[in-house]
Amino acid sequence: MRVLAQVAMVMNLDKCIGCHTCSVTCKQTWTNRPGVEYAWFNNVETKPGVGYPRRYEDQEHWKGGWALDGRGRLVLRSGGRARRLLSLFANPDLPSVEDYYEPVTYDYDHLVSAPAGPDLPVARPRSLLTGRPAAVTWGANWEDGLGGAPEHAGDDPNLSGSWAEKVRFEFEQTFLFHLPRLCEHCLNPACVAACPSGALYKRVEDGIVLVDQDRCRGWRMCVTACPYKKVYVNHATGKAEKCTFCFPRVEAGRPTVCSETCVGRLRYLGLLLYDADRVAGAAATPDARDLLEAQRDVFLDPRDPEVAAAARESGIPEDWLDAARRSPVHDLVVRHRIALPLHPEYRTLPMVWYVPPLSPVLDAVTGAGGDQDDPDHVFAAVTRLRIPLEYLAELFTAGDTDVVAGVLMKLTALRSYMRRRALGEPGDDAALKAVRLTPGDAEELHRLLAVAKYADRYVVPAAHREDAAALGALENRCPVESPAGRRVPLGMPTLRRSGGGRP
């Protein structure tokens, strides 16, 4: 067992109101420079929708993430070294600017400098790429609130099954929810493995994936390999850029900008301990529907004395162990099992997880003529919610609707229990027992999901700069390399120490 620590995030989609404050503050902090006008390290998408860039989830087209070859070994969808070498100067699997959008500015000066005349002056759009007049036809948030859904949302790659016929983009029949996205800082990042120059690396201190600007040569293989399309090319410098998980703030023990400015308080930050020796096997799980449990099995219990001892042996300090024990991410992902990863079938083992949205359950019960106080009626209504289980399963469980239904039933039982308590009535312990929750678990989950304070939502320990020199010995370690130095043949990325010290 080789214990490493990862800073991870969970987002409660029930609380996202689509205000885009997280996107704007991230943009102002990280991508307000020439060359990355089109890049949004954090963006909020409306689902169903084609996303940003358009149809980024269609890996048959974009060749992102990992796949299994005929012998069950992990290989990049974008191809091996030979194929990537042949496409260095003509990569066919890159999104175009039209797939993102052409960033524009406006002739604001014309509003005040136009000569007097009978017509009101107009600030016309101009491309930030060419400086020429441009038409605004697409954007990073073009489908906000299902705007244009009848024309575009049907192209959502997640609506590919026969069940998709039940989705109707008509007034009073459709559904929507907001999905904030950023780099997943995966345990098995395809972008790192695909980089020919070794510029992308995963920090051994905290698992954050970064780009070494000095080593980047702009080959853009990372853009293709990332299945979430969260690596961008700065067209002014020719180098790759991506979400940094606000590592300067994390090293100071503070949450990311998107988390701290989130109006809905839907984000949670914390540590997860994981066994690096299990990463390879988890990512190579044959059945895509088993990848969720395989990834959960990689995570370790920080309260286990054996895990704590192994963590200390790996150099993880005591305050980090304490933070891992208090981690809201561990509680939501491992303990209560209500958070799910985005597209586990990409086999990158993502580390940004989501609590799926819960439609108005009691309305569904009443509409079906059921009893709101009957747990059987309430649980049965979960399968008839406005947001189809199949759609959520395509996003979070590789199509396994049973897992999604189990999470939604747990959330439903929690909501019903706390509702009765708020009305001064005795809680329904039978409903909790049916979803394997105790009254104590329900109280804790309610506190965490509904009324958690700042210190409960963000448990991020500060840097240990005194350990920076010791980490140099781990500079060229691979996350699936054994202590004896034997590498498993997966082409996994190299973990390197950044200059920021040990968070």
CA distances from 235 to 22, 73, 103 (A): 24, 35, 12
Residue 298 lies in a domain: yes
pLDDT band at 171; cut points 50, 70, 90: low
Percent of the chain having pLDDT more than 90? 65
Residue of 140, 144, 143, 132 whose CA lies nearest to 105: 132
Please give the angle made by the CA atoms of 248, 478 and 85, to the nearest 5 degrees. Answer: 95
Global pTM reads 0.89
The DSSP output letter for 357 is P
In a domain, 54, yes or no: no
Res. 486: pLDDT tops 60 = no
pLDDT of residue 479: 43
Q: What's the distance, Cα to Cα, between the start and end of the chain in Å? A: 22
CATH code of 281's domain: 3.30.70.20
The answer, yes or no, to whether residue 493 has pLDDT greater than 50, is no
Instruction: Average the pLDDT over 28-33 and give the result.
Output: 93
Domain boundaries, position 386: 266-462
User: Is residue 427 pLDDT above 90, yes or no?
Assistant: no
Asked whether residue 90 is domain-assigned, the answer is no
Contact 185, 245 (CB under 8 A): yes
Tell me the average pLDDT across 186-214. Answer: 94
Is pLDDT larger for residue 186 or for residue 81? 186
Q: Would you say 6 and 300 are in contact if contact means Cβ atoms under 8 Å apart?
A: no
Mind giving me the DSSP string for 313-359?
HTT--HHHHHHHHT-HHHIIIIIS---EES-GGG-S--SEEEEPP--
Q: From CA 92, how far away is CA 61, in angstroms rounded?
A: 10
Report CA 80 to chain centroid distance, whole Å.
Answer: 26
- The total number of structural domains that make up the chain: 1
**363 pLDDT band (50/70/90 cuts)?**
low
Look at residue 359 and tell me if it is in a domain.
yes
Whether 476 has a pLDDT exceeding 60, the answer reads no
When pLDDT is cut at 50, 70 and 90, the band that residue 478 belongs to is very low
pLDDT single digits (tens) 433-464: 888 999 999 999 999 999 999 999 999 999 87
Question: In the structure, what pLDDT confidence band is assigned to residue 468 with cuts at 50, 70 and 90?
Answer: low
DSSP type of residue 298: H
Mean pLDDT of 340-368: 85
Closest to 227 measured CA to CA, from 279, 289, 184: 184
- On whether the CB atoms of residues 205 and 502 are closer than 8 A, the answer is yes
Q: What does the mean pLDDT of the chain come to?
A: 87
pLDDT of amino acid 467: 58
Spatial contact of 223 and 476, defined as CB atoms under 8 Å apart: no
Average pLDDT over residues 244-249: 95
Determine contact, residues 410/338, Cβ cutoff 8 Å. Answer: yes
- Coil, helix or strand for 180? strand
* 485 has a pLDDT exceeding 50: no
The enclosing H or E element of 201 equals strand 200-203
Q: Is the pLDDT of residue 400 over 90?
A: yes
The per-residue pLDDT for range 285-297, each reduced to its tens digit, is: 999 999 999 999 9
The predicted structure's pLDDT at residue 378? 67
Rounded mean pLDDT, 402-430? 87
* pLDDT confidence tier of residue 153, bands split at 50, 70 and 90: confident
387, part of any domain = yes
Tell me how many degrees the CA angle 473-478-479 measures, rounded to the nearest 5: 110
- Say if residue 361 is exposed, middle or buried (CB neighbours under 10 Å; 0-12, 13-18, 19+): buried
Average pLDDT over residues 181-208: 95
Among residues 317, 325, 278, 320, the alpha carbon closest in space to that of 297 is found at: 278
Of 78-82, 109-113, 151-155, 371-375, the range with the highest mean pLDDT is: 109-113
- Spell out the residues 6+ positions from residue 279 whose beta carbon is closer than 8 angstroms to its own: 187, 188, 298, 349, 479, 480, 492
Residues whose CB falls within 8 Å of the CB of residue 383, separated by 6 or more in sequence, listed in order: 389, 405
Split at pLDDT 50, 70, 90, the class of 374 is: low
Which stretch of 298-302, 370-374, 431-435 has the lowest confidence by average pLDDT?
Answer: 370-374
pLDDT of residue 484: 41
Q: Does residue 147 lie in a domain region?
A: no
Q: What average pLDDT score do residues 361-369 get?
A: 63
The Cα 210–Cα 375 span in angstroms is: 47
Structural domain includes residue 148: no
Mean pLDDT of 142-160: 84
**Residue 319: predicted pLDDT:** 93
User: Residue 22 domain-assigned?
Assistant: no
Answer yes or no: is pLDDT of 500 > 60: no
- Confidence at residue 148, expressed as pLDDT on a 0 to 100 scale: 74
Q: Are 180 and 11 in contact (CB under 8 A)?
A: yes
pLDDT above 80 (res 172): no
